[in-house]
Amino acid sequence: MNSFDHNGPGIKGKLFGLPGDADHAQLIVIPVPWEVTVTYKEGTAVAPAAMLQASNQIDLYHHYIQEAWKIPVAMLPIADNLLIENNSLRSLARTYIQALEAGADAETGKVVATKINEACENLNIYIKSQAQNLLRAGKLVAVLGGDHSTPLGLLRALSEKYDRFGILQIDAHADLRKSYEGFTYSHGSIMFNALKLPAVARIVQVGVRDYCDEEMQMMLRAAARVKTFFDPDLKTQLAEGSTWKSICDRIIAELPPLVYISFDIDGLRPNLCPNTGTPVPGGLEFEQAIYLIQQIVKSGRKIIGFDLCEVGNQEWDACVGARVLWELSQFALSSR
C-alpha cells in the first residue's frame, strides 16, 4: 500500500484497482454468478465480472472517509464452475417458467423444480462454508450477486456468529414469498428464508413498491420482525414537507445495534439500473441510499456484512453497481 499510487490508474483485475489479496484484506467480497430462478430479465450472473471491471474506474478519494483507499479490500476469484452450473440450470428453469406462463400445471415440471431447489441449497451450503472460514479469520464478508437469492449462505453464517442482528433491505420488492414458481430459494423468497433464522431479529425494508397479497399478509403476521417503509409512502412524506433526514432517522430507529445491509439494486430508480432483473418505476436516488447508509454508521450501529444483488451486466448498470459497492464497502469498514 505504501508504494501504491492512489492518484494513478488502478491495478487491472483488482477490485477498485487496489493492490493486495484476500489474506491481507479486511473486507472480502464473495462473487456469486448465479441467477437460476430469475423470472424476467437475465444477465445478473455475469454482473460480478462487469462490476469488477467497472470498479477500476473509481477515483479513490472518499468524500467522507479520510484515506479510505488505505483499507485493504479484495474480491475472491469468480468461480467458473458456478457460472457453468448456473447456465445449465438456468436453461432448465427458463423452459419450465415458460411452460408455467403458458398455463401448464406446476406438477408438470416438479422434477425440474426439485433439481433446481437442491442445487440452490448446495450453493447456500457452499457460500456459508466460505463465509464461515472468512469470519473465523476476522474478515468482514460481503456477497456480490447474481440474483437476490445468493446471500442466504452468508446470512446463515452470520446467524451462527451473532445472537441478534437486523437486516436493512433496500429493494423494490418485499421478497417474502414462501416460494415462487416452485422455487424454494427464489430471488423472491430471500427475506422469507431469512426470517427462518432466529438471530434475525428485525428486517427493515426500504423502497418496496411491488409486492403481492401473500407478502402483505406475511408483513402483517410478522409485524414484530418486519417493518416496511413503502416507496409511495416515502414519496408522499417528502412531497408534504418531511426531510430525508427525518425519514432516515425513523428507519434507523427500527434497527438493532448490529446491522446487515441487503442492497437489491432495483431499490434505486430504474434510470440507475435499467437492466436489473425486474425494474420498477419509483425508488431511491443514489444519494438517498448512500445517505441512509452513512446515517446508520453515524448512529453508532455496526455493519456486520452486506450483499449487493440484481445488478445488470451492461456498462451503465455495472458502473452504478461498482459505485454502490464502493460506498457499502467503505461505510461498512468505517462502522468497525
Q: How far is CA 91 from the centre of its chain?
A: 24
pLDDT above 80 for 23: yes
Closest CA to 288 of 261, 268, 311: 268
For residue 1, what pLDDT is reported? 66
- How many other CB atoms are there within 10 angstroms of residue 217's CB atom? 11
Confidence of residue 178 (pLDDT cuts 50, 70, 90): very high
pLDDT above 90 for 21: no
The arithmetic mean of pLDDT across residues 141-152, rounded, is 97
pLDDT tens digits for 274-308?
999 999 999 999 999 999 999 999 999 999 999 99
In single-letter form, the type of residue at position 118 comes to E
For residue 2, what pLDDT is reported? 66
Could you tell me which residue, 20 or 258, shows the higher pLDDT?
Answer: 258
Q: In what order do the strands lie in the sheet with 226-230?
A: 73-75, 27-32, 140-145, 302-309, 258-264, 165-170, 200-208, 226-230
CA-based torsion, 13, 18, 19, 20: positive or negative? negative
All three cell numbers of 116: 433446481
Interatomic CA distance for residues 221 and 58, integer angstroms: 43
% the chain with pLDDT above 70: 99
Which CATH class name applies to 15-334? alpha beta
Confidence of residue 107 (pLDDT cuts 50, 70, 90): confident
In Å, what is the CA distance from 154 to each residue of 11, 113, 149?
28, 23, 11
Could you tell me which residue, 71 or 194, shows the higher pLDDT?
Answer: 194
Confidence of residue 109 (pLDDT cuts 50, 70, 90): confident
pLDDT above 80 for 105: no
Confidence of residue 185 (pLDDT cuts 50, 70, 90): very high
For residue 110, what pLDDT is reported? 82
For residue 98, what pLDDT is reported? 87
Q: Which of 6-15, 86-95, 111-120 has the lowest mean pLDDT?
A: 6-15
pLDDT tens digits for 226-282?
999 999 999 999 999 999 999 999 999 999 999 999 999 999 999 999 999 999 999
Average pLDDT, the chain: 95
For residue 97, what pLDDT is reported? 86
Burial-class residue 41 by CB neighbours within 10 Å (0-12, 13-18, 19+).
middle
For residue 319, what pLDDT is reported? 98
Closest CA to 249 of 296, 282, 290: 296
Segments making up each domain of the chain, as ranges: 15-334
pLDDT above 80 for 22: yes
